[in-house]
C-alpha cells in the first residue's frame, strides 16, 4: 500500500472534559487521519491537563487506581496460567 496520489486530512474532536476540582481539568481528544473517501488510516487518543481550570461543576471522569505491585510476579503467574506473558 502506498500513499502516493492520495489526499489526507486530520479530523479531531473533543471526546471528554472532566472537572478535577481546584487542581484543574482534563480534556480528552481523538484525532483520525482519513483519505478523501473516509477510510481511517490512523487514530490517536490523547489527553491534556489544564492546571487551575477545574471547579466548573462538570463530571469527574474515571478514577484509575495505579497498581503498585510487582509486575514480574504477575507476568510469571500469567505465564503459568497459559497466557504466554512471561
- Over residues 1-60, the pLDDT tens digits come to 677 888 999 999 999 999 999 999 999 999 999 998 999 999 999 999 999 999 999 999
Q: Domain total for the chain?
A: 1
Q: What is the pLDDT of residues 57-77, one digit of tens each?
A: 999 987 665 566 666 665 555
- Has residue 73 been placed in a domain? no
* Position 35 in a domain: yes
What is the per-residue pLDDT for 83?
Answer: 47
> Kind of pairing, strands 24-35 and 8-19?
antiparallel
Which three cell numbers mark 33? Answer: 487521519
CB neighbours of residue 9 within 10 Å: 9
How far, in Å, CA of 22 to CA of 52, rounded? 6
User: Is 12 a domain residue?
Assistant: yes
Answer yes or no: is 81 within a domain: no
Distance CA(15)–CA(27), nearest Å, equals 8
Global model pTM greater than 0.75? no
Amino acid at each position: 500500500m502506498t500513499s502516493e496520489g492520495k489526499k489526507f486530512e486530520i479530523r479531531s474532536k473533543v471526546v471528554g472534559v472532566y472537572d478535577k476540582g481546584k487542581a484543574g481539568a482534563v480534556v480528552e481528544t481523538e484525532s483520525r487521519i482519513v483519505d478523501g473517501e473516509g477510510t481511517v488510516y490512523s487514530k490517536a487518543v490523547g489527553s491534556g491537563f489544564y492546571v487551575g481550570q477545574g471547579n466548573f461543576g462538570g463530571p469527574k471522569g474515571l478514577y484509575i487506581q495505579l497498581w503498585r505491585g510487582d509486575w514480574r510476579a504477575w507476568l510469571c503467574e500469567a505465564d503459568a496460567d497459559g497466557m504466554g506473558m512471561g
